[in-house]
Amino acid sequence: MNIIIKVQRYNPETDNAPYFQEYTVDMEPNERLLDALMTIKRFQDGSLGFRKSCAHGVCGSDAMRINGKDGLACKTLVKEVAANDGDTVTVEPLRYMPIQRDLIVDQSEFFKKYRSIKPYVINDEEVKEGERLQSQDERMVFDDTTNCILCASCYSACPILEKNTNFLGPAAITQAFRFLTDSRDTNYKERFVILNGPDGVWPCENHFQCTRSCPRSILITKRINSIKTMLNNQHKQGESS
């Protein structure tokens, strides 16, 4: 069936502002939206700019706004966004990050926030025998957060960033949870300082847009609230001691 892909275009060398361009492509309902973009790029307009790599939802390159919702073009089937012949799918770049070209945005700030929560297991104790022990139950506590592919869909979906651009954002907080709750990690204090700060977890207002947008089905809002609870408990402990 023929569908119309309406893409936001922008080339800083020639355009004063972003504009929309429409392409008509012949697609099967079960094909991916990424297949439609590739068809345009290969056979209609080589100048269309977007990132892509794995094409099956595990590398996080092709996150974009699809009909106003954030997600991966390779994990969105044509039939989910264009049911009938002649339907239009609107494709825009992710929000809150400077547009570099068409659907390509500058993610440096997003990754800077990720780096700020120290996204690695901190444990300076020497391992005596080969592996550190960890029960399967302990591991499952943070299991879903290890699914994160840093695609930034949740970041673009979050309404808080609209008013507070310094907010750490859902992805960085979720990764903080991943390490805070890993039984092998020994250093929560430094992460708590950042998470408890004015741009840490507290600006979150439970809109759940991050959870809805996550292509890896991570319960992001729940993890943010768990950290709020951890911080409150720590505060109470501090008062009682």
Partner 1 sequence: MREVPVIHQFDTVIIGSGGAGLYAALEASKDSKTAVLSKLHPVRSHTGAAQGGISAALGNVEEDKPEWHAFDTVKGGDYLVDQKAANILTEEAIQAVYDLENRGLPFNRTPEGRIDQRRFGGHTCNFGEGPVRRACYAADRTGHMILQTLYQRCIKNEVSFYDEFQVVDLILEEKLCKGVVVVELATGKLHVFAAKAVLFATGGFGRMFKITSNAFANTGDGPAVCARRGIPLEDMEFYQFHPTGIMGLGILISEAVRGEGGILRNRDGERFMERYTPTLLDLAPRDIVARSILTEVRNGKGIRGDRQIDDYVHLDATHLGKDTLMQKLPDITGFCKTYLGIDPADDPIPVLPTAHYAMGGIPTDENGRVILDNQATIVEGLYAAGECACVSVHGANRLGTNSLLDLVVFGRRAGQHITQYVKSAAAVKVDESAADEARQWIERITDGSEGPHGGHISDEMQTTMMEKVGIYRNEKEMQDAVDTIQDLRRRYREVRVQDRSSTFNTDLLEIIELGNLLDLSLLTAASALNRRESRGAHSREDYTERDDDRFLQHSLAYLENDTVRLEYKDVDTSIWKPKPRTY
Binding site for partner 1 (CB under 8 A): 11-14, 30, 41-43, 45-47, 49-61, 75, 77, 100-102, 104, 107, 111, 115, 118-121, 127, 130-136, 138-139, 142-143, 146-147, 149-150, 179, 182, 184-185, 217
Output the smallest distance, CB 206 to partner 1, in A: 26
Considering the complex, what minimum distance in angstroms separates the CB of residue 70 from partner 1? 17
Can you tell me whether residue 152 is helix, strand or coil? coil
Closest CB 194 distance from partner 1, rounded Å = 15
Q: How far is the CB of 117 from partner 1 (least distance, A)?
A: 11
136 vs 240, which CB is nearer to partner 1? Answer: 136
Quote the CA–CA distance of 142 and 66 in Å, as a whole number. Answer: 29
Question: Which pair of structure tokens corresponds to residue 72?
Answer: 């991966």
Question: Which two tokens mark 73?
Answer: 């073009």
* Residue among 121 and 206 whose Cβ is closer to partner 1: 121
Q: Where are the beta strands (DSSP E) in 67-116?
A: 69-72, 88-92, 99-101, 104-105
**CB distance 161 to 113 below 8 Å:** no
Q: Which is nearer to partner 1, 42 or 235 (CB)?
A: 42
- Nearest distance in Å: CB 142, partner 1: 7
| Cα distance between residue 208 and residue 200, in whole Å | 17
Question: Residues near 88 by Cβ (< 8 Å), separated by ≥ 6?
Answer: 3, 4, 5, 6, 22, 82
For residues 3 and 151, which CB has a smaller minimum distance to partner 1 in the complex?
Answer: 151
